[in-house]
Amino acid sequence: MKAKNSIVFIVLLSLFSCEKVLFEEDLATTNPHKNFEYLWNECNEKYTYFDLKNIDWDATKTKYAAKLYDDMSQDSLFNVLGAMLTELKDDHVNLISNFNISFFGTEYLGQDNFYGRLIEENYLKRSYYITRPFAHDFLDNEEIGYIRFASFTGTVNQTNLDFILNRYKDTKGLIFDLRENGGGAVTDIFKILSRFIEEKTLTNYSRIKNGPDHDDFSEAEPVYVTPHNGIRYTNKVIMLVDRGTYSAGSFTALATKAIPNIILMGDTTGGGLGLPNGGQLPNGWTYRFSITQALTLDKSPDYENGVPPDINVLFDWNDLTKDEVLERAILELQ
């Protein structure tokens, strides 16, 4: 199940103070023009990917301001503001009211690359293991371990990782399936990756929007993964991704570029490498958008448009007897 709107970024809690839960009474208004101006200005000063995405935010303002009128309904206003935000093409950008939520839908930028029932019926035993939040079993005469990780639920812990990695310790390799994983708890990323490295590893850099101009950022800070002091797996790992792999899934995919024994396979991820934060409009609706950038080892923000696989493989929907992506991963490990 995708979790495009459930991403949890604990780190932000220590970096940013939230806006007041309720707007000050003398500033509260349902006026469409004032709410539009407030939201546009907040994005203009704090959103992080205007330059990378070649977005003319001034032109966007002109386009959507023309759709406003004084006595428009709240539903109509929501449609205008929500459509304006989708111009950012970022599923960490949302407008939330008590009757609707706006989102872009990055997974639709590419074909669906995962069919869960096919894997369960054609590759796994009916008695496959569920070690929450992982589903897993042996493949290829027990020479390969397959691990399905559908969402970063925040429930990854040392007990479930110890059990899984001990079970597959004698395999030739692991297939770690992140397809259609829409993200979740960022803490899960480090717990998982710490099991596949032997030394402290620089995986990427991060910087924060810190001024009103579109290019105002803090200095890039390094992000490291430290090896777990316990059971680790050092054989080859194939990590499967697609356009539905978003947010924490994309962060994981980005980190694999720095880990030699992990190969990224499938389709380009959906991106979502900017951590979101937000506030409240004068009419009470809330919003969020990306306020940081995750950078590659050469300090480029380009992977916000999607982390490319090392080996590109697409699912063939004309043949539902096999999973081409999984088949290619098995071949790579034989």
**In the structure encoding, which two tokens stand for residue 307, read together?**
């982390």
Report d(CA 292, CA 300) in Å as an integer: 13
Q: Which of 272, 230, 234 is nearest to 253 (CA)?
A: 272
Choice among 13-22, 164-173, 322-331 with the minimum mean pLDDT: 13-22
Q: Which of 98, 108, 103, 68 is nearest to 82 (CA)?
A: 103
CA dist 257 → 110, 166, 222 (Å): 21, 25, 15
Q: Which of 224, 226, 230 is nearest to 206 (CA)?
A: 224
Confidence of residue 126 (pLDDT cuts 50, 70, 90): confident
pLDDT tens-digit map of 127-151? 999 999 999 999 988 999 999 999 9
pTM over 0.95? The answer is no
pLDDT at 20: 40
Q: Is the pLDDT of residue 12 over 50?
A: no
CA dist 191 → 103, 226, 281, 307, 324 (Å): 29, 9, 37, 21, 29
Average of per-residue pLDDT across 260-279: 97
Q: Is the pLDDT of residue 58 over 90?
A: yes
Q: Is the pLDDT of residue 324 over 70?
A: yes
Confidence of residue 18 (pLDDT cuts 50, 70, 90): very low
